[in-house]
Amino acid sequence: MHRLKHWIGLWLLLGFSLAQQNIPVTFTYDPPMALEVRSVSLRGSFNDWAELPMQKTEEGVWQVTVALPPGVVQYKYFINGQWPQNMCEDETFGTPQVDAEAEGCTDDGQGGQNAIREIGRLAEAPPAEAGLALEHDPNTPQFVSQAAGRLSVRFQVPQGRIRSAVLQAEQAYPMALQLTTPEGEVWRAALPLTVRTYRIRVVDKEGQEQTFGPFEVPAKVLRAVDWVAGRVGYQIFPDRFWNGDPSNDHRALETSQARFDRTWQGRRPYLSRWSDPPGEYHCCQQYYGGDLAGVLQRLPHLRGLGVNLVYFNPLFDAGSAHGYDTHDYVRVSPKFGDNALLKRVLAELKRQGIRAIFDFVPNHTGLGHWAFQDVVKNGPKSRYWNWYFIRQWPFTPGDGRAYVGWADLGSLPKLNTANPEVQDYLIRVSRFWLNFGFDGIRVDVANEISTEFVQKWRAALKALKPEVYLVGEVWDVRPQYVQGDQFDSLMNYSVGRGGSPPAFGGVLGFARGGPLQNGRRALGELARVYALYPEAVAAMGFNLIGSHDTPRVLTDLGGGGLGDRPSLEALARLRLAMAVLYALPGASVIFQGDECGFTGERGQWPVNELYRYPLQWARCDRSTLAHFQLLGRLRGQLAALKSPVFRTHLGEGPLLAFLRGEPGVGELLAAFNNSLETASLPLPEGRWRDVVEGRVYQGKLSLAGLGWRYLERVP
């Protein structure tokens, strides 16, 4: 039967590896004449943003050549030990572009811009004597996983090499071309769960047939948490959602960070009225009074949006408005209510068919956490001394030089998640809240905690509640985290953090429009994500293009900053972006207020993070709200949008189109136009009914400028 050694042997026999498709690419930095340059390095998405030194040539330019696979890369030059803020325009390091050969720029997640370059597509298939180079290993979830009660089996080959494929088990199952990426083609079939062995039979472009296998389905296959598929998610940032009970507002000041930070020299924490402007410490110590009572009062609004999944930002006792500096992991913050009120909220959500996940912060605590306070009091004699990373003793709480803190912040002392006592404590906390009534957990800065802990944590929680949904805050494409031993999904952001490439950057980029943000690029980036991630992971994807950590989507699309009046074009681009988001597999998650067309930029310290400003409900744009309500209804009605299947159809100029659901009657074609002009879209064969207007189309249809359509295949 098939084993990994046999898979490696196939590669050696066929004499071809996709890694051999790498293309030499030269990066050049030609500095301004007035700038003295001492050192330059290249850092990008292709080398995990590590340093790659560039050499100065006789002509005075700096260069390095790198062999890269086809696809879109993001990068920056690191010049004289500094990052250019914007690779497309920087007054110090280069104008108009730091790299004149860049094809454009994209958000780096830190208020700046990375350069973009697209490495050439495969111009032609490898020579015939290289063989088909079929890549398939049933022990790898990328190729075999379980979702929607079926077994997904996939393989990858170079582009343009095969004409058809059949998976042969107890009967023949036709395989369909699912994805076309710069790295190759992905073919797919869905099988009954009873299938144990199979072969793959392909016919190449010359009509020659080859059979691969037999392959054996592993005893344990990565399985999707099926309830996630097709959900409409809503992210609630409690302090800024709605103030339902003003009587608890003053409680925010009782456990504020300033009470524990002995280095604190700024203005004291303070309360604001709901419509007060953002002031000093808008991020952290300006409180507006949002609470759990406000969530209960606004539930009809969520139901009108079709919401059936709520993601709460931190609810537990903490030292700030954002709540990521936990003081007590099992106590609801008094400013939000208490544990009994949270129990009531969860019961009401469940009654209305809404699942709930909570934000968990195992990487660090706040200064007021009881374990850290014990260390402050007892030093090395504290039984919790090894829960943290103390550099010097004695120390002043708040002094980030004395101990390790997240992002070197003294207010966020880092927990030692490799310590078995810490691991057991955090697992007990997680089990407590799952037993309390939550359905899932979102883990903050998941890439910064011990892998051993995450694996142990997952095993314990899945044993308690097999259908628990575990989401890791990882901003970019990282398949290693979703192989069945850590997370079910990552947070599929539309922007990267620290220069990293985002999972769904193509969605937001496409909605922005312009010649560099075309349909081909967007479709290629989406196809790459779905080729790398197991189909079970796609089925439970946590997909968003705006959150509490990013500028408002409408602001990103040209809608202006906080309080600005967005243009009609910006609002149309918001509708387009959300139509794409709602058509993707998994759960489509929106940040509170995006459905109202609210704006909010990053801002400057201390008046920053303006996307977290309280929701001014009376200013909710009714036409934008109606669009979200329509998308929510369609999400709930169309079976194809609950499917794990995503297939590429067309990406060309301003047009983007992909298919959802199993091939055949009922599958959905999602089509989008990011230009201001009407465009003609060629349709797949057959009859297609517009699910909004009811009209049936064949052959082609016209897409209005900034328009979108969902079309269902009919007999």
For the segment 121-125, the average pLDDT, to the nearest whole number, is: 41
Are 615 and 506 spatial neighbours (Cβ–Cβ below 8 Å)? no
* Mean pLDDT (the chain, rounded): 91
For the segment 587-615, the average pLDDT, to the nearest whole number, is: 95
- Catalytic residue selected from 90, 107, 325, 444: 444
Q: Summarize pLDDT for 431-456 with one digit per residue, the tens.
A: 999 999 999 999 999 999 999 999 99
Residues 30, 10: Cα–Cα separation, whole Å: 46
Is 124 known to be catalytic? no
- Both 635 and 654 in one domain: the answer is no
- Both 427 and 442 in one domain: the answer is yes
Are 199 and 167 spatial neighbours (Cβ–Cβ below 8 Å)? yes
Amino acid 131: pLDDT = 64
Other CB atoms within 10 Å distance of the CB of residue 171: 9
What is the pTM for the complete model shown?
0.86
User: In Å, how far are 83, 245, 253, 293, 405 from 539, measured between CA atoms?
Assistant: 37, 38, 42, 33, 35
- Both 483 and 564 in one domain: the answer is yes
- Both 510 and 598 in one domain: the answer is yes
Burial environment of residue 61 by CB neighbours within 10 A (0 to 12, 13 to 18, 19 or more) = middle
The last residue of one of the domains, among 639, 660, 693, is 639
Whole domain around residue 662: which residue ranges?
A: 644-714
- Both 619 and 688 in one domain: the answer is no
- Both 443 and 584 in one domain: the answer is yes
For residue 63, tell me if it sits in a domain: yes
Is 473 known to be catalytic? yes
At residue 2, does pLDDT exceed 80? no
For residue 373, tell me if it sits in a domain: no
Residues 327, 350: Cα–Cα separation, whole Å: 28
Amino acid 58: pLDDT = 85
For the segment 684-689, the average pLDDT, to the nearest whole number, is: 97
For the segment 613-629, the average pLDDT, to the nearest whole number, is: 98
Are 235 and 313 spatial neighbours (Cβ–Cβ below 8 Å)? yes
Structure tokens of 414?
A: 């880092």
Question: Where residue 612 falls among pLDDT bands split at 50, 70, 90?
Answer: very high
For residue 473, tell me if it sits in a domain: yes
Closest-CA residue to 105 (of 390, 465, 499, 443): 499
The last residue of one of the domains, among 86, 119, 152, is 119
Residue 58 belongs to domain with CATH number: 2.60.40.10
User: At residue 331, what are phi and psi to the nearest 5 degrees?
Assistant: -130, 125
Higher-pLDDT residue of 85 and 339 is: 339
Amino acid 129: pLDDT = 38
Residues 128, 322: Cα–Cα separation, whole Å: 58
Q: Summarize pLDDT for 512-532 with one digit per residue, the tens.
A: 998 778 999 999 999 999 999
E-strand ranges in 250-401 read 270-271, 286-287, 309-312, 316-318, 326-332, 355-360
- Catalytic residue selected from 204, 473, 549, 594: 473
At residue 330, does pLDDT exceed 90? yes
Structure tokens of 375?
A: 């260390």
Question: Where residue 669 falls among pLDDT bands split at 50, 70, 90?
Answer: very high
Residues 475, 498: Cα–Cα separation, whole Å: 9
Are 44 and 106 spatial neighbours (Cβ–Cβ below 8 Å)? no
At residue 405, does pLDDT exceed 90? yes
Amino acid 475: pLDDT = 85
Residue 507 belongs to domain with CATH number: 3.20.20.80
- Both 629 and 495 in one domain: the answer is yes
Structure tokens of 81?
A: 């030990």
Question: Where residue 125 falls among pLDDT bands split at 50, 70, 90?
Answer: very low
Residue whose token pair is 């359509």:
709
Are 164 and 207 spatial neighbours (Cβ–Cβ below 8 Å)? no
Structure tokens of 139?
A: 């022990």
Are 478 and 505 spatial neighbours (Cβ–Cβ below 8 Å)? no
